[in-house]
Structure 1
Amino acid sequence: MAGRFLLVLLAAHAVAQNFLNEDVGDTAQTCNVDAVQVANLRQLHPILHDLVNTTFFRLFRVNLRNPVCPYWKSTDSEPEKPGGTCTGSVPTGPLGKPSFLTKGGPGAGVSSLEPAQEGGCSVEADASSLDLAVDRKLTKQEQVAQLERDNETQDCEFEEDLPHYWMDMCSGDHAKGKELEDVNLIKNPERNTGYNGSHIWQAMYDENCFEVGSTMPRGRFGANEPMCYEERVLYRLLSGWHVSTSISIAKNFYAPGTKQKGAWSPNLERFYHDVGEHPERAKNLHFSFVVLLRAVRKAAPFLNTYAFNTGDEQEDAKTKMLMARLLDSRLLSLCSPLFEAFDETRLFRSNWNPEQRSQLKRQFKSVFRNVTELVDCVQCQRCRLHAKLFSLGLGTALKILLSPEDLIASTTSRDDVVAMVNVLWKLSDSLEDVRTMTKQYYEQQAPIVQPQPPQGPDTAPDLDNTDQPMPQGTRRQLLDLALRNVHKASATGQLPSEAEERLLRFLVAPGQASEEVLLMARHYSDRASTFCRIALFAAEAFESAGSVAAPQAKAKAAPADLVIVGGGLAGMSAAMALLDRGGSVVMVEKQPYLGGNSGKASSGINAALETTVESLVEDTTKSAGALVRPDLIQVLATESAEAVAWLRDRTKVDLSMRSQLGGHTAKRTLRPSNAFVGAELTFAAGQVLSKLAEQGSNFQLMLKSKWTGLRRLDSGVWEIDVQQNGATIQVQGRQLLIASGGFGHDAKELESLLLKYRPDLADFPTTLGPQTTGDGVKLARDLGAALVDMDRVQLHPTGFVDVKKPLENTKTLAAELLRGVGGLLLDRHGRRFTDELGTRQAVVNAELKADEAGLALPAPSPHRAFALVLNSKAAKMADRHVTLYSKKGLLTKAEGVQGLAERFGFKVDVVNATLMDYNAAAKQGIDAFGRKVFPEHWPIEASEDFYVGEVVPVIHYTMGGIAINTHGQVLDAQGKVMPGLYAAGEASGGVHGDNRLAGNSLLECTVFGRRIGMNLPIRQG
């Protein structure tokens, strides 16, 4: 019987998997549904979640008290046509009007053309429990933010070919000067109210149409004729809006007390009928998401510099940081295709004559303006709130996409920004809901499908009930075919490595791969990808069926082999290595995402792949100085090649670029050819671990979680109190790894390690995240661990100064790479003062000495600031970095030496002399500061462009931390091993000695994290 259940699920899932591999449509061919879902799940969704919960984005200004519907005289009358002239049948193709228009609710559609009475409720919900009204209460902080709002209005109307033509896309409240109020979107989520908005959706789909000339290709929402591209784009955006609304209704359908006490619960049957059975509707949702991402991408320079004013500086800084993280996502290799997938320049560029093109533009805008007016006809206040939000968000995105870039800043209001980001979040959340609710639907259906009797003589035999199991020899032959199919699909690039590993585990584990799956291997031996796709769903179905077939009381979970506190690269390396051995892991991370400060590393990761181990030992030893610990450095260097190769293969991250950084005597620092090494490695490792957490019970990932207590039980097991979602959870592990980072952002904590050991650095800015407060170091200290080198804090010589906020404490790191490709440091007169490729400490010492001599840049530059200058040849070698820093406003382009001199107030002849001296030194192979390495960016010419910025020395890394041995085991004050306790990454101390060599931080995390994961004892069986 379980075999038949598997086959039922396999058939249903086959359609879904084909959908995942399909193109989104009307976008770049490389943009398929699966790519959108993965990027959303792993990166974009958690960022957007935090962003829309900030004060700035949760307040939406809207008119809800006195809407004026221009199309119906009253709620009791027949709807009047809103001006369209389209008639005809509803299209039935993939872009046709969704059949779920026949359902009720604000995401509902057409059960009738008459507006429903206010407050109508569905039969599944108690009317008294459905909250139709809007919660208008604002906190004191939200009231302050309300006063900070900058009211903006836009004039209309413009001619089609003028740059400002698209500025009045939305015929909304803000343009009409209506009475507006701020509403908290978090307190007023979109959910089932029982309201039937079918006539609104009917009007959107049927009454708005393009009536272009008879000589043009034409289509209409209400006819069976093909749509032109512009009409199809607009239709798909409306459909994506409709699908998102329907998903929200289905997700929050049953009021608290109806199905679930104290919480809203979903209507999974409705969801599956409306969306799950219709992949084309979900594709429109994906398409809308990609279009919004493209608008955000185009508006990135504006959003990067936007002042998110709410009257609370700390809250505003958080909002700006989250927005920067969202915008930086477009540089990740996984996400960048999504931001570029939609090409708005395809709109209105057909070979039609100017008159026809102008007519098409007018009708495109007219249709959308009609939509924005239709939302005033929604009678339910909460429904109207979200309809207005969505229409303004879509309108803002279209306005940005269709307008010149230089008009975005002057024509995009605060309300526009709030609406667009919230709509992007709603689409992102809907994508996640599709995934989770589909899984819930199948889990719910399992007990219904399982007991069904055979349907007739043609039904496949019930192999699970036969008394004659498949002979072992036959099973082995079929298993051989199955493994061959997996290998073939993987070798041809049709099966991702994570899926390959999951499928192999499923096939070889005793009692998992059914006879039905093995029989498929025989009949689909020539279609390896199809076999693998269905077999993967069999693995998922096996897990679901197993949990349904034998419900048991949940036993208390056995202690994990390892509990890891911290989700940076050290913790992730340990987790992957241990899980690969079959161990069990719980990871606790207080951020909403994995990566920590490792994600900020931009220069590279060292490895003795094509260079000698001895040279890496020598360079690291020199940097460590008098505090060198040869045993730790020997492990770091000796295992560097193997560990980095393992990390590269495990994450599939390109590490093909090789460079020589300051303090190095060889080219051994690896990085991706077109991306940021820390972001790529942590992102990819996070993907691996997130998938492992979803697939099995050996790995538990706890994000947004913080440890609050720790104790060692009599059994020797560690028990940790973890706070998650307001509740305290006890987690147990046989061993504990502290990988929670250093203490470089600890200057303002009540018990500050930084102020205790280095009070002289209290006024230095930092590149470290606010989570870097030494929690793990303090934890180990309180357990009796020894702390070493705590006064050794690394100052990085180049933290960027944001000229708009020069005194901001947290700086963006100017990667070592910028100096590695030829970036020069200049003092207030335009002269060099150091070997830019010296060790970090040497360059910092030169900066501090120059500052004491009065050679730093004058005010308004901050204390200890100097000029960083790259000529165009150097900038080209670091194109990815220069592009990012330029978009952030940290680097600016200067034309020739004249422009460079004007930017900093230098004298042109002094700068020319500096560059001529540098060219001569490069030709000779040594300069006055002892520099002997000169990248291929010279001769520097006075006429070429320069990329310039300001930098200051910043707190970048803490060498001190928990004392460890070569196995990562924590040592007490007497140098003895503390059983079951480990430390790795920046939380540990002693590896780097007096100062860390550039590129060794990611290496330390990888080598020692992996070493711990590969060697600590695990529970057998």
Structure 2
Amino acid sequence: MQGRRNFLKLSAGAAVGSLAATLPGTVQAKTCNEINWDENADVIVIGSGFAGLSAAVNAKRQGLGSVLVLEKMQVIGGNSAINGGWLAIPKNPIQLAQGVNDDSPEELVKDQIISGRGMQNEPALRQIAERSLDAYDLCIDTGVKFRDGFNIQVGGHNKARAIRTQHGTGGDITTKLYETGVKEGVDHRLQHYVEDFIMDGQKIVGVKVRKNYRFPDLTTGSSIFIKANKAVILANGGFARNMALREAVDPSLDPTLDCTNALGATGEVTLTAMAYGALPVHMNLIQTGHWGSPDEGGFGWSNALLSIGWHQGVAISVLNGKRFMDERADRKTCSEAIMKNRNPDGSPAYPVVFFNYNNYAKDDRVVRALRDEMAWKVDSLDEIAAKFDIPVAELKRSITEYNKHVKDRKDPLFNRKMDTAEELTGPFVVSRIWPKVHYCMGGLKTDLGARVIDARSMAPIKNLYAIGEATGGIHGEARLSSTSCLECLVMGIVVSETIKADAQGAA
């Protein structure tokens, strides 16, 4: 039996996120028979976001035995805990109560095919959409609460199907999944960094883990070996915080862009899998969130605030006072349009988005944004022009034209859907926008059951599975808003079913 051949050795003094620290090494490994296992689990889950926690709960419910979740950071949740808590669910109860009866999983897939621009995995998208109500039921069953009556249409979707958690964060979901896992016997370990896989030919049999690891210091903690009796599930997320890897796979991506991700989104586990032959796909497709604000760091409140701005307001270039895009288009379309706004020296000319204040004065999205000064209450167009150095005459002409389009419910400039647009009269809520690196479309290739595909044989690597942002090729060039949470929760269900079927087939 061959052990950790060509495994990913992270040098002790290297900073996490450095590509030099994540290249395959040439250290001679022990064979599997020579390893003294410190402990074992039937199912090992790497990562504690939506995907990992869903997989852990569902693995217990499938009767797969002991389940161990390994999280390298000091808190549960990863990117999932800090996101906006959006979930796209066709035929969800709130949608049906609103009288939206013409939606379906197929309608969601149609929207995703458009945004994927021919690069998407349609069967995978269809599987996820068809099981979206299973994800909703999982949330309700574990105690997640959604906002009463809140179901809206978000960018790139043709129907209002996006619901949102009670507090507007993904932590509302990760907390409940974690609490449920604890009650049902899932073992969660923080500060456990996966250093290497232990392989028996084309089968994973365990992992080498640095316990008591303190991010990002690779000299902390000590190594142990954990045997995986049935499966290892990679739910480690993307690599948007790994600057060297980002540059390597997409040199065109502006390195000055801020990032919405948690600091731990550095992708070493994905690279480890690749070192053992796992097939990567679409690694150069890194999505930016067009709702980013230059006036706050990380994920922030801008995503929530602009769920109003894109629908009820308008985006204006500070360079000429004109509209420049369909505010309700998908992320890729909007991000590309926004980043064309540049000063003569090439620096960003941050566009502004504004909408009427009075209708939303008590909305928590507005209250928080104004409180944290990433948006401002401005009384008139003259004040907007003065505050953001916008040509005032052209700004006023643009808003007069826009208000006519609102009344006509037709946008001849950009063909924006105007059903939610409001005539702009002031006072206004105004924010600046600039995209942030948000989501890795690429990752490991899997089959529909979440089995990781070996590039050398194009067959599954036995007992190795991947779900969520660690996978690639599902959404294509652009992922629609509110679909990542859906994918992660659904695939946590699917992978548990796959592992059960594989275990029964091997018995």
TM-score tier, shorter chain, comes to: 0.7 to 0.9
Alignment partner, residue 992 of structure 1: 475
Shift of 1:641: 2.1
Q: Give the distance between the partners of 2:250 and 2:360, measured in 1 at CA.
A: 36
**Aligned-partner SS, 1:790:** coil
Question: Are 2:167 and 1:675 equivalent residues in the alignment?
Answer: yes
Q: Give the distance between the partners of 1:789 and 1:717, measured in 2 at CA.
A: 24
Q: Percent of counterpart pairs with the same letter?
A: 25
**Aligned-partner SS, 1:819:** helix
Q: Give the distance between the partners of 2:454 and 2:359, measured in 1 at CA.
A: 48
Q: Please, which of 797, 803, 806 is the counterpart of residue 290 of structure 2?
A: 797
Q: Contact conserved, 1:632 with 1:966, CA < 8 A, in 2?
A: yes
> 1:757-776: CA deviations, max 9, x gaps?
10121332221122111112
Structure 1 residues 901 and 714: CA distance shift in structure 2, 3 A: closer
Q: Please, which of 830, 835, 839 is the counterpart of residue 321 of structure 2?
A: 830
Alignment partner, residue 178 of structure 2: 686
Shift of 1:832: 1.4
**Aligned-partner SS, 1:645:** helix
Question: Are 2:87 and 1:577 equivalent residues in the alignment?
Answer: no
For residues 464-863 of structure 1, the aligned pairs below 5 Å read 559-583=40-64, 584-602=66-84, 604-609=86-91, 610=96, 611-654=103-146, 656=148, 657-672=150-165, 674-692=166-184, 698-713=185-200, 718-725=205-212, 726-733=221-228, 734-747=230-243, 752-761=244-253, 762-802=255-295, 810=298, 812=300, 814-815=302-303, 817-828=307-318, 829-851=320-342, 854=343, 863=348
Q: Output the amino acid matched with 1:824.
A: V
Alignment partner, residue 466 of structure 2: 983
Q: Output the amino acid matched with 2:366.
A: V
Q: Contact conserved, 2:350 with 2:432, CA < 8 A, in 1?
A: yes
Q: Give the distance between the partners of 1:867 and 1:736, measured in 2 at CA.
A: 46
Shift of 1:924: 1.3
Structure 1 residues 626 and 711: CA distance shift in structure 2, 3 A: same
Q: Give the distance between the partners of 2:226 and 2:284, measured in 1 at CA.
A: 33
Q: Output the amino acid matched with 2:352.
A: A
For residues 261-340 of structure 1, the aligned pairs below 5 Å read none
Q: Give the distance between the partners of 1:876 and 1:612, measured in 2 at CA.
A: 34
Structure 1 residues 760 and 1003: CA distance shift in structure 2, 3 A: same
**Aligned-partner SS, 1:658:** coil
**Aligned-partner SS, 2:428:** strand
835-844 vs 633-642, greater mean Cα deviation: 633-642
Shift of 1:936: 4.4
**Aligned-partner SS, 1:559:** strand
**Aligned-partner SS, 1:784:** coil
Q: Contact conserved, 2:309 with 2:354, CA < 8 A, in 1?
A: no
Structure 1 residues 1010 and 929: CA distance shift in structure 2, 3 A: farther
Structure 1 residues 557 and 603: CA distance shift in structure 2, 3 A: closer
> 1:167-206: CA deviations, max 9, x gaps?
xxxxxxxxxxxxxxxxxxxxxxxxxxxxxxxxxxxxxxxx
Question: Are 2:408 and 1:924 equivalent residues in the alignment?
Answer: yes
Alignment partner, residue 424 of structure 1: none
Q: Output the amino acid matched with 1:951.
A: I
**Aligned-partner SS, 2:146:** coil
Question: Any unmatched runs of 5+ in structure 1?
Answer: 1-555, 693-697
Q: Output the amino acid matched with 2:429.
A: Y
Q: Give the distance between the partners of 1:873 and 1:710, measured in 2 at CA.
A: 57
Alignment partner, residue 399 of structure 2: 915
Number of equivalences: 442
Shift of 1:818: 3.5
649-658 vs 711-720, greater mean Cα deviation: 711-720
Structure 1 residues 717 and 801: CA distance shift in structure 2, 3 A: closer
**Aligned-partner SS, 1:773:** coil
**Aligned-partner SS, 1:642:** helix
Q: Output the amino acid matched with 1:847.
A: I
Q: Output the amino acid matched with 1:711.
A: I
Q: Please, which of 990, 1004, 1019 is the counterpart of residue 487 of structure 2?
A: 1004
Q: Contact conserved, 2:192 with 2:209, CA < 8 A, in 1?
A: yes
Shift of 1:730: 2.2
Q: Give the distance between the partners of 1:712 and 1:663, measured in 2 at CA.
A: 42
Q: Give the distance between the partners of 2:387 and 2:63, measured in 1 at CA.
A: 58
Q: Please, which of 379, 386, 389 is the counterpart of residue 902 of structure 1?
A: 386
Question: Are 2:453 and 1:967 equivalent residues in the alignment?
Answer: no
Structure 1 residues 738 and 813: CA distance shift in structure 2, 3 A: farther
Q: Give the distance between the partners of 2:466 and 2:485, measured in 1 at CA.
A: 15
**Aligned-partner SS, 1:903:** helix
Alignment partner, residue 530 of structure 1: none
**Aligned-partner SS, 2:325:** coil
Q: Contact conserved, 2:441 with 2:477, CA < 8 A, in 1?
A: yes
Shift of 1:647: 2.2
Q: Give the distance between the partners of 1:679 and 1:914, measured in 2 at CA.
A: 40
Q: Contact conserved, 1:819 with 1:837, CA < 8 A, in 2?
A: no
Structure 1 residues 930 and 691: CA distance shift in structure 2, 3 A: same
> 1:31-80: CA deviations, max 9, x gaps?
xxxxxxxxxxxxxxxxxxxxxxxxxxxxxxxxxxxxxxxxxxxxxxxxxx
> 1:469-496: CA deviations, max 9, x gaps?
xxxxxxxxxxxxxxxxxxxxxxxxxxxx
**Aligned-partner SS, 2:322:** coil
Q: Output the amino acid matched with 2:300.
A: T
Question: Are 2:388 and 1:893 equivalent residues in the alignment?
Answer: no
> 1:656-685: CA deviations, max 9, x gaps?
41110111111111113x521423212222
Q: Output the amino acid matched with 2:339.
A: L
Q: Give the distance between the partners of 2:178 and 2:349, measured in 1 at CA.
A: 37
**Aligned-partner SS, 1:659:** coil
Q: Give the distance between the partners of 2:341 and 2:428, measured in 1 at CA.
A: 23
**Aligned-partner SS, 2:240:** coil
Q: Contact conserved, 2:441 with 2:473, CA < 8 A, in 1?
A: yes
Structure 1 residues 876 and 949: CA distance shift in structure 2, 3 A: same
Structure 1 residues 715 and 824: CA distance shift in structure 2, 3 A: closer
Q: Give the distance between the partners of 2:437 and 2:187, measured in 1 at CA.
A: 33
Q: Give the distance between the partners of 1:707 and 1:742, measured in 2 at CA.
A: 15
Structure 1 residues 985 and 717: CA distance shift in structure 2, 3 A: closer
- TM-score norm. by structure 1 comes to 0.41
Q: Output the amino acid matched with 2:282.
A: D
Q: Contact conserved, 1:821 with 1:874, CA < 8 A, in 2?
A: no
- Structure with higher RCO (Cα < 8 A, 6+ apart): 2
Q: Contact conserved, 1:833 with 1:850, CA < 8 A, in 2?
A: no
Q: Output the amino acid matched with 1:899.
A: E
Q: Contact conserved, 1:871 with 1:940, CA < 8 A, in 2?
A: yes
For residues 392-407 of structure 1, the aligned pairs below 5 Å read none
Q: Contact conserved, 2:193 with 2:211, CA < 8 A, in 1?
A: yes
Q: Output the amino acid matched with 1:650.
A: T
Q: Contact conserved, 1:833 with 1:846, CA < 8 A, in 2?
A: yes
Q: Please, which of 870, 888, 892 is the counterpart of residue 355 of structure 2?
A: 870
Q: Give the distance between the partners of 2:147 and 2:234, measured in 1 at CA.
A: 28
Q: Give the distance between the partners of 2:470 and 2:349, measured in 1 at CA.
A: 29
Q: Give the distance between the partners of 2:204 and 2:190, measured in 1 at CA.
A: 22
Question: Any unmatched runs of 5+ in structure 2?
Answer: 1-36, 97-102, 213-220
Which one has the bigger helix percentage?
A: 1
Structure 1 residues 795 and 678: CA distance shift in structure 2, 3 A: same
Q: Give the distance between the partners of 1:740 and 1:566, measured in 2 at CA.
A: 4
Shift of 1:557: 8.3
